[in-house]
Amino acid sequence: MEEEATPQEVVTEEVVPEQETAEAAPEKTTPQEVTRETAAPVGTVEQGAVAVIGGGVAGIISALDLVDSGFKVYLIDRGASIGGKMSQLAECVTGIMPMMVELETNPDVELLTLSEVTSISGSQGNFELEVARNPRYVDELRCTGCAQCIEACPESIPDRFNFGLTNRKVIDFSHSQPVPNVPAIERDHCPPDCRKCVEVCTADAIKLEDKETKAKITVGSIILSPGYEPFDPSIWARYKLGNPSVVTSLEFERMLSSAAGSGKLLKPDGSEAKKIAFIQCIGSRDPHVGNELCSTVCCMYTAKEAKRAAELNPDLDISIFYMDVRTFGRDEHVVKQIGKKYGVKYIRSRVPEIIEKGDELQLRYEDPENDEMVDEEFDLVVLAIGLLPPDSIQRMAEIAGVELDSFGYFKTELENPMDTSVPGIYVCGTAKAPMPIMDSTSWASGAAARAGSIIAQQRLVKPTSPIEAEGAGGRPKIGVFLCRCGDSISGVIDIDSLATHIERLPDVAYVDASATTCKDAAEAIRSAVKEHGLNRVVLAGCTPRIYELHFRKLCEEIGINPYLFEMANIREQCAWVHADNPDAAFEKAEELIRMSVARAGYLDALTVKRVPVVDSVLVLGGGITGMTAALEVAEQGYKTCIVEREEGLGGVLNDIGVLQDGRRASELLSEFRGKIDESELITVFTRSELVDLAGSAGNFTGTVKIPDSTEELKFGAVIVATGAEEFKPTGIYGYGERPNVVTQLEFEKLLDQGISPGTVAMIQCVGAMDDEREYCGRICCGTAVKNALRLKGSSPETEVYVLGRDVRTYGIWESMYRDARGKGVIFLRHDANKKPSFDGEILSTQDMMLNREVQIKPDYIVLSTPMVPRSDSETVAEILNISTDDYGFFVEEALRPKVKMRPLDSASAGVFLAGSALYRPRMIDECVAQGSGAAARALTLISKPFVEVEAATSVVDEELCAGCGTCVSVCPFGAVELRELVEDVNTFGLVSDAKREVAEVSERCKGCGLCASYCPSDAMSVNHFKDRQIFAQIEVVM
């Protein structure tokens, strides 16, 4: 079914005039305001710049937040491509790819790869860096990425990216989708006088005579994010690293990565793995080998790797040998799940040696319950290696003049976790302490906020004008671009053959099948649209979830309305899921593209509305997280309001006596309170609550109930830092009845009084990790250790027992755990099913390691309970239009992989989350980092003059609308309301000023389509998803 010409629907909206903008802006006389009021600010202010040293995930996120807030970034990395360790992890590369591509194409980012900083001079606001640029031997500007040089290269070397499991050529890409997408040459390995690559290069891009060059850059602040060094277990002969069936976890990630393609998990020798053992804590918690700390992430990544392996082959027999399981929050669920679903065994015993028995590997472990030593054979052993400070950290610390702490990481303070000892130089990621990706990214946002505060006056805000929906101009001329995606698509689907099919489709004016990467595709689109005068673009490649936004921006740049762009997913939905049936994959791909082409013919240009932003922030919650967020925003020159429910600021910290570094919490709090009092930009409402929130990102109106009345506040973003509270386990172990049974917070108060009891017993996991609350409270073991140490310090004769299932003192807390043991604190382990019991006099526990009952007569029992959400978190969530999980914690936008990269964003645009309220009770430095991080996220929104409103939203045909109100009741976002329409109606005569009700869609609309599908009059439809567009898709494949 074809139509001759597509009717153009031009939706016109009024562009908000300039004077309204000025009214909404606060009184300020900073150059930033000047930028806002004049039409073209370029050139009035020199744009502030930040140097980010280290291009792994932390550096990348910092860089993105900075350029998104109006600054320039120099992203410096040692390797030939940015991406760091994350690009080596099995599936993580898909998460980081879009961010890497965005950095590559953003004009405010300068990528300095193969570069190392050799000196830093100056001070905050004005640093001068000297950068040594190692030669790539390939000209980045000329290279087209055709890869002919690689084919022609005669010499192979082990591929470091794959840990030597495979080979690469001397000239090669560092991995399959590098940024920049240009190969590099390992010059030392070139055969003498060989010039094969030069000979085949048609772009004359290879420069074998290149030498090291030097660059000088001037920046206002610096972020250090060099990442970590994985522990090398080959120092121990007893782990038989020489055996190909013994691998490290990173090597295993590469094995899992290649298994994703083939569907089989193969050992390095090519055979299929059947029985796998994971050995935890290799190189961690081991002062003997020089690393006292717990690497925090290994238990979780092992659970993930085991899960991944089991998903590939459910028949795999997997055992995990551990000492303590450190999986926190809802990650605990994964551990349970792999046990139940795939039979993965967790065995508590360290394994000190691997014995080679023929083809198999023999592990010996202890079973204390049966007092046995068991020998078991496996065919693959994975060593869960720990994270160490990066090998470059000493040199970097010297060059930057920053201090390192006693563990070899960059030294920071508890309340300033991203600030190094040099003002203006900040740190984030695993160079600060071992941490998972989700924490690296939130700290990275925090570092961006810190770095931005130095150059806040030099923010360059580019004015953007709304996109008019111009007519798409006559007959559709569709350009179809096929991407090979490395060879992950073209390996299964014959792209060239597909192209010939596509060429025959109606309205297709041009087909390009050359692109192998997103960048190629972008280039192809750019040149073809111009050359062939295309007016619609269809991209057949990966999932639109990752790249649609990116390509829409590209269309905007080259003059095509972004809503005339359509994507067909032939990767996830065809090549990947039907990898074992290429014919079916081909057919499906062809159909999907056909559908997209048909739809493209009916697409309308839409206006992208841009609404002026209110450049202030509302912070909900005045605890340490909220205070940090407010201070951070204020430091960059924006107004914030803190809304706090209690009498005063401070939150849970008010109840804590002494912090882990020995200082009193009240000291810290008065510092923060002092800074807030001093700041002119922060308004504090105590004994107040937010009762309503209207509007959308950039333009919120909040109703706050203050002690005697209500206030209406206008702001652009919300930061939710409402925290959590300690669970009070009434009835458990006599809590609430017996005065000597207390919680940890209550015990802190007793310690302040200076008690000196004979015996104290602490019981862990009370009210957590059970049927009622499955999650691990994360901070309770650390808190118990802290309090036990404090007690032993003030009263050494007191006998302190800690009864737990595991001891989950992660990261630096492991060092405190060791100290506690050294002072004589006794840790007794019990099984989850055999909890300790108390009859009022005797506390009895079944000690797993001695396999005997131990009885204690404690003077105090301290119960370590988890933090639980505030009782009204559900209500708050509803007001804010965000979701909560089963327990009531707020949930971030759970879309993977975005959740790892943007852990502080909620599903509601403009609402950011931080601190313990966000499903992971946190230590103080983590809370502060998140507070700063949320501030950075909010700043990316409010630092821009406009916020873009989603154009693919619902639209009402007022003539058809009967005002029934069905749409209003089904809308989950509260985005539709009925309004009164006054018009002249002609029915049996003219009726003037007849009133009726019609629906009106507000900016809250997300385009979900519920209203349109329910509307009985067909008056409601969704832009970009009109009936005829959808019918076209369906009919073309029927």
- Interface positions with another protein (CB under 8 A): 236-238, 281, 285-289, 323, 349-353, 355, 364-366, 368, 371-373, 759, 799, 801, 807, 817-818, 821-824, 826-827, 829, 844, 847, 849-850, 852-857
Helix (H, G, I), strand (E, B) or coil at 837: strand
Query: Nearest 5 degrees, angle CA 693-CA 725-CA 893?
Result: 45
Cβ distance to another protein smaller for residue 367 or 470: 367
Cβ distance to another protein smaller for residue 160 or 357: 357
**What is d(CA 593, CA 578) in angstroms, rounded to the nearest whole number?**
16
Cβ distance to another protein smaller for residue 265 or 803: 803
Q: Minimal distance in Å, beta carbon 237 to another protein? A: 4
In angstroms, the Cα distances linking 988 to 372, 958, 991 are: 97, 21, 9
Task: Print burial letters for 386-411: b (CB count within 10 Å at least 16), e (below 16).
Answer: bbbbbebbeebbebbebebeebbbbb
**What is d(CA 562, CA 604) in angstroms, rounded to the nearest whole number?**
10
**What is d(CA 426, CA 58) in angstroms, rounded to the nearest whole number?**
12
Cβ distance to another protein smaller for residue 289 or 981: 289
Q: Which two tokens stand for residue 166?
A: 């495979």
Q: Minimal distance in Å, beta carbon 167 to another protein? A: 28
Q: Minimal distance in Å, beta carbon 688 to another protein? A: 48
**What is d(CA 634, CA 628) in angstroms, rounded to the nearest whole number?**
10
Q: Minimal distance in Å, beta carbon 759 to another protein? A: 7
Cβ distance to another protein smaller for residue 371 or 680: 371
Cβ distance to another protein smaller for residue 328 or 801: 801
Cβ distance to another protein smaller for residue 856 or 998: 856
Which candidate, 778, 928, 854, 957, places its Cα nearest to that of 419? 928
Q: Minimal distance in Å, beta carbon 625 to another protein? A: 33
Q: Minimal distance in Å, beta carbon 852 to another protein? A: 6
Beta pairing class for 126-133 and 213-219: antiparallel
* DSSP conformational letter for 91: T
Q: Minimal distance in Å, beta carbon 369 to another protein? A: 13
Q: Minimal distance in Å, beta carbon 751 to another protein? A: 20
* DSSP conformational letter for 516: -
Q: Minimal distance in Å, beta carbon 844 to another protein? A: 7
The gap between the terminal CA atoms of the chain, to the nearest Å, is: 11
Cβ distance to another protein smaller for residue 323 or 509: 323
CB atoms within 10 A of CB 1013: 12
CB atoms within 10 A of CB 638: 24
Which candidate, 235, 149, 233, 259, places its Cα nearest to that of 199? 149
Q: Which two tokens stand for residue 793?
A: 């310090």
**What is d(CA 312, CA 201) in angstroms, rounded to the nearest whole number?**
41
Cβ distance to another protein smaller for residue 154 or 352: 352
Cβ distance to another protein smaller for residue 206 or 299: 299
Cβ distance to another protein smaller for residue 794 or 969: 794
Compute the Cα dihedral for 701, 704, 710, 714 and give only its sign.
Answer: negative
**What is d(CA 781, CA 1028) in angstroms, rounded to the nearest whole number?**
60
Q: Minimal distance in Å, beta carbon 864 to another protein? A: 18
Say if CB 871 and CB 898 are below 8 A apart. no
Say if CB 547 and CB 104 are below 8 A apart. no
Which candidate, 500, 722, 698, 711, places its Cα nearest to that of 590? 500
Cβ distance to another protein smaller for residue 673 or 821: 821
**What is d(CA 587, CA 564) in angstroms, rounded to the nearest whole number?**
25
CB atoms within 10 A of CB 579: 16
Q: Minimal distance in Å, beta carbon 285 to another protein? A: 6
Say if CB 185 and CB 138 are below 8 A apart. yes
Q: Minimal distance in Å, beta carbon 826 to another protein? A: 6
Say if CB 264 and CB 287 are below 8 A apart. no
Please report, for the chain, how many H helices and E strands are present, in that order.
26, 50
Cβ distance to another protein smaller for residue 842 or 894: 842
Q: Minimal distance in Å, beta carbon 856 to another protein? A: 4
Cβ distance to another protein smaller for residue 163 or 817: 817
Q: Minimal distance in Å, beta carbon 362 to another protein? A: 11
**What is d(CA 889, CA 874) in angstroms, rounded to the nearest whole number?**
8
